[in-house]
Chain A
Amino acid sequence: MHLLRATSLRKTYGGITALKDGNLECKRGKVCGLLGANGSGKSTFSKMISGVVTPDDGDIWFDGAHVRISSPQEAKKHGIIMVHQHLSLIPELTCWENMTLGFEPVSGMGFLNNAQSRELARTYLSKFAPGLSVDRKVKDLSLAQKQFVEIAKAVAQKPKLLILDEPTAPLEQSEVEKLFAVIRELKAEGTSVIFISHRLWEIKTICDHVVVFRNGETVGAIDFATEEKDEDAIVSMISGKDLQLVKHKAQTGGAARKERQLEVEALALRQSRTPVRFELGKGEVVGLGGLQGQGQEQLLLALSGLHPSGSARITLGGKRLKLRHPRDAVRAGMVLVPGDRHKEGLFLQHDMLLNLIYPQLAVRKTGFFLSRRRLKAEAEQIIGRLNIVPADTGKVVQFLSGGNQQKVVVGKWLPLAPKVLLLSDPAKGVDVGAKKELYDTVKQLAEQGTSVLLYASDYEELMAICDRVLILFEGQIVDQLMPSDYSEERFVAASLRSETAADRSPIEAWGEAK
C-alpha cells in the first residue's frame, strides 16, 4: 500500500516553470530514491511534499487521505519531515537543544523538561555518532556531525515519511554506512524514506525503488523488487538519451601535444582528501565539468590566489608559483574571470575606462602619474577588439548589457597579456550572440598562446570550445573526456560517476593527459 501518492504536481515562478508534472508513489516502509540532474525539479518536488512550497496544481494523498500541505508545520502534523541540504541548526545552541527545538518535552507544570530532552537527544544521536556528546555546541561540530544532528533530530520526531535531500554529500564512506544502518532500522519500523542523491551506488545500495525527474517532469520509475538495478537505464533516464549508442562510440584522438604552460599538483579542494593534479598546455582550452558544486569554482579561486592553495605545487611557465594573494597570480599572468561579475569582476558604478585599466593600476604596471590619454587609447583598443557596445570609455558599466559587462571583465586583463585565463561560468546570464562573441575571443586568445581553464555549468559550452574536459566529482578529478567522447550522455554518465564512466579509469586518463 502506498503511503504517499503525488500526481501532476506543478509549480511556476513568474513564468518560469520549476516543475511541470511531478509524480511519485512511495510505499510504506520502503526507501524511494529521487534522481535527476541539477534543476530537474526534484528539489521543488520534495519541498512541496514537506510543505515548504505550495503546488499550483496537482494532488497529494498521504496515509490514505487527500491532503493539502501548506506549511512545514502541517507536513509535520501529518508525519512528514524533510532534512534540507542546507542545514537549519542554530550554531550557538547545543546538540540536544537543537534536536528538541520545536518539540520540547514538557513537564507537568508546563516547564521544559531538559533532562528528558537531553536523554531523547542522546538516544537518537548515538545511533549515528556514538561518541558525540549532546552537550557540545553545534558550531564546534564538523559538517558531517552537523548533518547527523540534523538527521537525528528528524528521526527523533518519529516521522512516517522522512525526506533526505542529499544527506550524504558531507559524509565519508563509513559515515554513509552508519546512515544506511539507521535508514534500514527505520524501514523495519515501517517508516518510508525519500532519498535524494547523485551517487548511483548509494541509490543502488539503499533504495527499493527510484523515480527519475528530468526538466521538471517525472520521466520514469524503476522498482528494484521486480526490475534489475540497471545503472545504464537510470543514466539514460536522467540524461534523456540512450546510453548504449554512446558507449560504443570509438575513443580516438586527443589534443595535440602542446608545450606545457601550467602544472598543478597536490591541490586539495574542500570536500576531498585526495588532491587534484593536472596540466595545461600552451594555448590549450581545458574544461571543468561535472555536476554543480563539485569543486570547480574552488579550483579556479585557489588558482586565482583568492583561496588558500595549501601545499599545492603550482608551476607556471616553468617557474614555481607561491600564491599568497591574487596579486601573485595576476603578476605571474594567471587571471580570473569570476562567476559573479557584479560582485567579483566589476566596478559597476564606474565607467569602462576605470574598469578596463584597473588591473594595470593594481599590479603597478603604470607609473605613479597616469597618462589618461594613453590609458584611454588602450581602453578604446580593448573595446574595439572585443566589440563592446557602446564603444564609449565613459559609459558607466552598470548600464551595459550582461554580455558587454562580461566582455569588460575579460577585456580588462588583455593589457597584461595573461598566460592562463581562468573562466568561471562566464556565459551565465549572457545572451546567445554575446556568448558566441565571448567564446570567440577566448578561442582567439588560446590561438595566441593563452591557456584557458573554463568552468561552465552548461555541457554544450564545454563541448563547443574545449580541447578536453576534466570531470570533477566531490573535489576530485574523476574522468577526462576528449572531443571524440563529447556527448551529453557521456557528460552525464561521467558526472554521476557511474560504472559506465569508471570503465575508463581516472588513472588511465592521467596517462593520456601527460
Chain B
Amino acid sequence: MSMTNAQTRDMNGPGAALRGIRQIGSRKVLVAYLLVILIFIAGQVVSPGFAAFSNIMNVLNISALLGLIALAQMLVVLSGGEGIDLSVGAMASLGAVLASQMLNGADGNLLPAIAVVLLAGFAIGAVSGAGIAYFKVPPLVMTLAMASVIQGVALVYTNGQPKGMASPLLKELGVGRTAGIPNLVLLWIAVAIVVAVFLTRTRPGQALYGLGTNRLTTELSGVRTKVFTTAVYGASGAISAIGGMMLLSYTGTAFLDIGSSYMLPTIIAVVIGGISLAGGLGSYNGTVAGAILLTSLSSILVTLRMGEGGRQIVYGVILLLLLAVYGRQKVK
C-alpha cells in the first residue's frame, strides 16, 4: 500500500569502493600472474634453467593450446544461464582428427580443412545451444551428452584409427618460432586482441554481457535470447574444433582423445580468470592468465620429477585451493 518498503541502496556503502565486480576480476588476474612468477622463481631454485627464456616460451606455447580451447568455454560461461560446455574436449578431438584426415600431410587442403572444422564445430555446438535454449535442457546435461555423441562421430569417421597428419604449414604454426617466440603464442596474442575488441567494442560482444547478466532484461530489450544462446554454443563449438586443429599442429598426428584432457582445465582457467560462473562478468585477459597459471603449475610438477600419481594429487589439491579462493561467488 504505502511506499515505505523503499529498497534504497546505500550509495556510499562498502560496495562503492570496489566500483563493481570487474575490479575484483582484475585483482584475480593480478594474483594469477603473481602466482605464475612465484612458480617460476621456485622452479628456478629447485631446477636451474626452469625460468630460462626458452622454457618460459615452452610453457607459453602449451598455455596457448589450453587458452584457445578455454576461450570456447569462456564464451559459454559468459553467456550465463548456468552455461557450461563439457563438450569442448571432445569437440577439439573431433577438430583434430577431421583436420588430420583431410590434410593427410599436404598443405593443399588447408583452407578447406579449416572451413570444414569450423563449420562442423559450429553446427554441432549449435545443436547443444538449441537444446539448451529451446528445449530447456540444462547445459551441463546437454553438453555432456553431446560430448558423447561427438566422440561417437569421431569414432565412426575414423573407424577407430585416425589417419593422416598435420601439413607442413600447420606444423610450422604449431612448433615453429618467429624471433624466438613460438608462432602459436603469437597467434594467441592476436586472438586475445581480437577477442578483447570483440567483447568491448562490438555490438554482439556487449550484448553478450547483457545476456549473461540478466536474460529477462535482455529479452525485453529486444534481443532474441534463444537465437543468441544457440549462436554462442555454436561459436564455442567452432572455437574448440579449431583449437583441436591447433593441438594437431603441435603434436603432428591426431589421436581419438587428443582433446579430452582439456575439458576440466578450461573450466578452471575460466574460473581463475575471474569469469563469474553465474555469467555476464569478466574478460579474456583473466582466462589467459588462468591458462598460463595452470600450465606453469603442471610444468613445475613435471620438473620436480614427481610421479604421475603424486603429480595428480598435488595438481588436484592446488586446484581445490585455487578454486576455494577464486571460485567463491559473491552472493547477491
Contact = CB atoms under 8 A, between A and B. Distances in A.
Interface in B1-60: 1, 3-9, 11, 13, 15-16, 19-21
A394 B19 CA distance: 8
Nearest to A38: B1
Contact of A458 (B3, B9, B210, B220): B3
Nearest to B21: A349
Contacts of A39: 1
Interface of A: 16, 37-39, 215, 304, 306, 325-327, 329-331, 336, 338, 343-351, 354, 357-359, 361-364, 366-370, 372, 390, 394, 396, 398-403, 405, 412, 427-432, 435, 457-458
A370 B209 contact: no
Contacts of A330: 221-222
B5 A400 contact: no
B158 interface: no
Contacts of B1: 37-39, 215, 457-458
Contact of B223 (A327, A346, A403, A427): A327
A430 B6 CA distance: 6
Contacts, number: 138
A336 B221 CA distance: 9
Contacts of A398: 9, 15
**Ranked 6 nearest A-B pairs via Cβ:** A396-B20, A330-B222, A362-B222, A362-B221, A327-B222, A39-B1
B106 interface: no
Nearest to A409: B217
Contacts of B178: none
Given A326-B221, A354-B209, A362-B207, A429 B9 contact: no
A273 B40 CA distance: 73
Contact of B220 (A16, A306, A366, A427): A306
Interface in B189-207: 201-204, 206-207
A458 B15 CA distance: 32
B217 A347 contact: yes
Nearest to B18: A396
Given A350-B213, A368-B202, A402 B220 contact: no
B216 interface: yes
Contact of A306 (B20, B207, B219): B219
A402 B206 contact: no
B30 to A, nearest CB: 20
Given A402-B9, A432-B3, A457-B1, 16 more contacts: A215-B1, A343-B217, A345-B217, A345-B220, A347-B209, A348-B213, A350-B209, A357-B206, A361-B223, A362-B222, A363-B221, A370-B202, A370-B203, A400-B11, A429-B7, A458-B3
B213 A16 contact: no
B214 interface: yes
B210 A336 contact: no
A348 B210 CA distance: 10
B132 interface: no
Interface string B139-163: 0000000000000000000000000
B218 interface: yes
Interface string B89-125: 0000000000000000000000000000000000000
Given A349-B213, A398-B15, A370 B5 contact: no
Contact of B202 (A215, A350, A369, A428): A369
B206 A354 contact: yes
B217 A367 contact: no
Nearest to A367: B203
20 contacts: A325-B219, A326-B219, A344-B216, A348-B213, A350-B209, A350-B213, A350-B280, A354-B210, A357-B206, A358-B207, A358-B210, A362-B222, A362-B223, A390-B11, A399-B9, A399-B15, A399-B20, A402-B6, A430-B3, A431-B8
Contacts of A359: 221-222
A429 B220 contact: no
A400 B6 contact: no
A304 B220 contact: yes
Contacts of B281: 349
Contact of B11 (A325, A338, A347, A399): A399
Contacts of A402: 6-9
B311 to A, nearest CB: 38
A325 B224 contact: yes
B189 to A, nearest CB: 21
B7 A349 contact: no
Identify which of A38, A306, A401, A431 gathers the most chain B CB atoms within 10 Å of its CB: A401
Contact of B9 (A331, A343, A366, A400): A400
Contacts of A362: 207, 210, 218, 221-223
B206 to A, nearest CB: 6
A16 B332 CA distance: 24
A347 B214 contact: yes
Contacts of A336: 220
A195 B222 CA distance: 45
Given A348-B213, A399-B9, A402-B8, A369 B220 contact: no
A369 B13 contact: no
A390 B11 CA distance: 9
Contacts of B204: 368
Interface in B177-195: none
Contact of A346 (B4, B20, B214): B214
A118 to B, nearest CB: 36
B9 A344 contact: no
Nearest to B281: A349
